[in-house]
Structure 1
Amino acid sequence: MFEWVHVETVNTPATAAQVWSVWADAENWPKWDDQLEWVKWQGPFEEGAIGTMKPADGPVVSFVLTEVEEFSHFIDRANLPLTTVDFIHRYEPTSDGGGRIVHSVEMRGFLAPLFGRVIGSKIKTHLRQAMEKLSLLAERQ
């Protein structure tokens, strides 16, 4: 199986609860990720919940929360042709009272190398900035 992986880490003074409140407000993800035009959501923020999102330069994508552990991490999964994309969002507390936001993007499947070049290149250029905006929003909670 082919795969493409990219990981970014940003230190934040925000607490796990502050970061979680921003993550769990899925319809407002475009406030911190300017590569999203909109996100629509069905139901509570829990494993199995389904949503759709519209990337700025792409088609509407359906996704599902495959794993959710409050104040710790969640994974949202989108299926592309012959490829699965997992967006893994994790908060790791640090000894100074803040933490680290770790965001991984993992593409697996036959077309992962192609999607890595096309979509992955965009992810690499904007992910850190999105995470920094997430951190600032969380601090204001």
Structure 2
Amino acid sequence: MWDYQHAAETTAAPEALWRHWSDIAAWPQWNDGIEKIEVDGPLAVGTTFRMTPPGDDPIEMRIVEVVAGELFTDEMDAGDFVVRTVHRLDRLDGGLTRVTYRTEITGAFDPELGPAITADFPDVVAALVRLGERG
């Protein structure tokens, strides 16, 4: 198993951040790690989407967990391995919100896969935080 987590704190309200997560079709507008996205429904358990990283082939993903306003988990099942990413919002004291992206990979996988997938997490979280802080 391999795992990685990146978190940042912001003054943005969880509701503002959740609005951006809920609009899956708009993710490429603020997430530079997505060139194109095709989504088959809302941010709900069972919804599938195809996310194309810049210069790469599409990746089929599925939403496997949603707690509205708090977290969602997506999963890519590649057969020999599974990549699960939890996207979480936690209310903190002082009106702050912690934004966390946590990825776990299980199964037989190339050891370079995890770092390749998560390399942009600091930039992606920072972009989401900027959007949330703008309202």
> Would you say same fold, with TM above 0.5?
yes
What letter matches 1:55 in structure 2? P
- For 1:70, the equivalent position in structure 2 comes to 68
Matched residue, 1:108: 106
- Tell me, yes or no, if structure 1 residue 53 matches structure 2 residue 51: yes
1:4 equivalent in structure 2: 2
Residues 87-141 of structure 1 deviation map (CA, whole Å, 9 limit, x = unaligned): 1100010111121001001111122xx1x41x32233432111101101111223
Which residue number corresponds to residue 84 of structure 2?
Answer: 86
Residue identity in the other structure for 2:124: A
Identity %: 24
Does structure 1 retain, via aligned residues, the 8 Å contact 2:87–2:100? Answer: yes
Q: TM-score, normalised by structure 2?
A: 0.93
SS at the partner of 2:120?
helix
Structure 1 residue ranges (4+ consecutive) displaced by more than 2 angstroms after TM superposition: 119-125
CA RMSD of aligned residues (A): 1.3
Deviation at 1:5, TM superposition (A): 0.6
Q: 2-side partners of 1:17 and 1:124: how far apart?
A: 25
Cα distance in structure 1, aligned partners of 2:69 and 2:36: 24
Letter in 2 for 1:97: G
TM-score for both structures, normalised by structure 1: 0.89
Partner SS for 1:120: helix
Partner of 1:123: 117
Alpha-carbon distance between aligned partners in 2 of 1:83 and 1:122, rounded to the nearest angstrom: 15
The gaps in structure 2 that reach 5 residues or longer are: none
Give the conservation status (yes or no) of the 8 Å contact 2:86–2:103.
Answer: yes
Q: Report how many aligned residue pairs link the two structures.
A: 135
Aligned-partner SS, 2:6: strand
TM-superposed CA distance for 1:4, in Å, is 1.1
What runs of 5+ residues in structure 1 fail to find an aligned partner?
Answer: none
> Residues of 1 paired with 2:56 and 2:104: CA distance?
18
